[in-house]
Chain A
Amino acid sequence: GESVGLHLPTLSVQEGDNSIINCAYSNSASDYFIWYKQESGKGPQFIIDIRSNMDKRQGQRVTVLLNKTVKHLSLQIAATQPGDSAVYFCAENTGAGGTSYGKLTFGQGTILTVHP
């Protein structure tokens, strides 16, 4: 289920299910997007990225979809495993140059819990 307000959105799935984590980004000028996974007590870890000239990119068990029309990004995880349990962040980059140089702006984060 999901919760709003002061708490992070949550997603609970059973092992083996597919998971979809959604993200709405704010800046229509953003041209590069990344999904990060953060396990408890660790730093964010790069999962997959996508540039704005693409609408889909696949990795190993993960797929990122980009819908620029509605400024929406999603991360699909196939055959979710208990080791996938973590907080997932989307991040957007408005590109090089000026004050946006190398600046990643992170979304709120979603807690994914995978039950064995």
Chain B
Amino acid sequence: DTAVSQTPKYLVTQMGNDKSIKCEQNLGHDTMYWYKQDSKKFLKIMFSYNNKELIINETVPNRFSPKSPDKAHLNLHINSLELGDSAVYFCASSQGAAVGLFFGEGSRLTVL
């Protein structure tokens, strides 16, 4: 069983489109995250939810809107996609703060 699963794994789309990436974790964790990894492999946190409540919102354009329907799911919706949004997006989860994160396999987004 995959602990943190993301779909889709690959996403190719045109500029201006709207797309979503879904994430589910079956670890029973209470905290979920979205990280963005750029072409230089730099990993940067975007959002964090604890028990469905937004607790971290880094300086991310408001075209990005996370949504957590329950503590096992955290989805990421992106409006009006731009070229610079091309990256690998990783979902992660943890039980509480100041502990290790478990990452999904990533969703590679390519904006043409």
Report which A residues bind B (CB closer than 8 A).
6, 8, 31-32, 34, 36, 38, 41-46, 49, 87, 89, 93, 95-97, 99, 101-106, 108-109
B77 contacts the other chain (CB 8 A)? no
A106–B42 touching, CB < 8 Å = yes
**Besides A36-B103, A102-B98, A109-B42, 10 other CB < 8 A contacts?**
A8-B40, A34-B101, A38-B41, A42-B105, A43-B92, A46-B101, A101-B55, A101-B97, A102-B31, A102-B97
- Interface SS of chain B: strand
A104–B45 touching, CB < 8 Å = yes
Question: Nearest residue in A to B41 (C-beta to C-beta)?
Answer: A109
User: B56, B90, B100, B103: which has the most chain A beta carbons within 10 Å?
Assistant: B100
Query: Could you tell me how many residues of chain B have their Cβ less than 8 Å away from some Cβ of chain A?
Result: 27
Question: Nearest residue in B to A110 (C-beta to C-beta)?
Answer: B41
Least Cβ distance of B27 to chain A in Å? 12
Q: Sort A-B residue pairs by CB-CB distance and give the 10 closest, nearest first.
A: A43-B103, A96-B97, A102-B97, A106-B43, A46-B100, A32-B98, A44-B103, A101-B97, A109-B41, A43-B105
Report which B residues bind A (CB closer than 8 A).
4, 31, 33, 40-45, 48, 50, 55-56, 90, 92, 94, 96-106
B104–A43 touching, CB < 8 Å = yes
Measured CA separation A32–B48 after assembly (Å): 18
Select one of B41, B56, B90, B98 contacting A87, CB under 8 A.
B41
A93–B41 touching, CB < 8 Å = no
Complex contacts, A108 vs chain B, CB 8 Å: 41-42
B98–A95 touching, CB < 8 Å = yes
A101–B50 touching, CB < 8 Å = yes
